[in-house]
Structure 1
Amino acid sequence: MPETVLAQGMLADSRGRPVPARAERALRQAVQATRTPRTPKTPPASLLLPLKADVEMALGRFFDARLRLAAAPADEAARRAFEDCLFTLGVLMAEPCAYAAVHDAVQYTEG
C-alpha cells in the first residue's frame, strides 16, 4: 500500500472523517505487528552464516544509504541504493523482513 494512502487515512482520522477501510486495515495490522513480540529464532545447525566482514560492510552501506535518502527523499538513485542495501541485508541474514534483517545484522556483528 502506498504511503500516500496511509497518510491520507491518518489525516482523515485526525480530522474526524472516516478512514478508508483499506488504510485502516493496514494501519491496524502494522500496529499489531509492532506489539507482537518477536520470538528469537534458533538457526538450524546446517545454516551457513555469512562472514562478519561482509555483514559489517553491508551495514555500513545501509547506514550511508539511509543518510543519503534522508538528505534527499525525492532522489530516486538514493532510494534505489537504500532498497538495494536492504535487499542485500535480507539475503545475508536470511530474513524477508527489512527491519528484522537490519536488527539481526547488527546483533550478529556485535555478538
Structure 2
Amino acid sequence: MYCVSSLGVTGVRQSFDASITDFIQQVKQLSHIPVAVGFGISTREQVDSMNKLSDGVVVGSALVKKIEELQEQLLASDTRQEALREFETYAKTFSPLYSFK
C-alpha cells in the first residue's frame, strides 16, 4: 500500500509533520499488505527515517529533479555516459532500492 508522507503537492520536502509516525502505524495495523511511504522524500536521512516506520520507501520527485538537472548532458551523445554515471551514483544514495520486511 502506498501512503503519502504529507498533504499538498508533490515535490522535495525539508521535513515531515510529526503525526506521520502515528499515521503509518495506524495504516499498518489496519492493512495486511506491506506499507510503502512516499511523496516528497528527497534525502538519505528521510529514507532512513521513513524506512524505520514503514515496509518501504518511494523516492520520485528527487530523481525527476536530478534528471532535469542532467537533461542537457543526457541528450548530448558526448556527455551522456558521464551523466548516466552521475545519475546512477545519485540514485544509489537512496539504496536499498527496496526493503520489504
Check whether TM > 0.5. no
Normalising by structure 1, report the TM-score.
0.29
Higher RCO (Cα < 8 Å, 6 or more apart): 2
Larger radius of gyration: 1
Identify, as 1 or 2, the structure richer in helix: 1
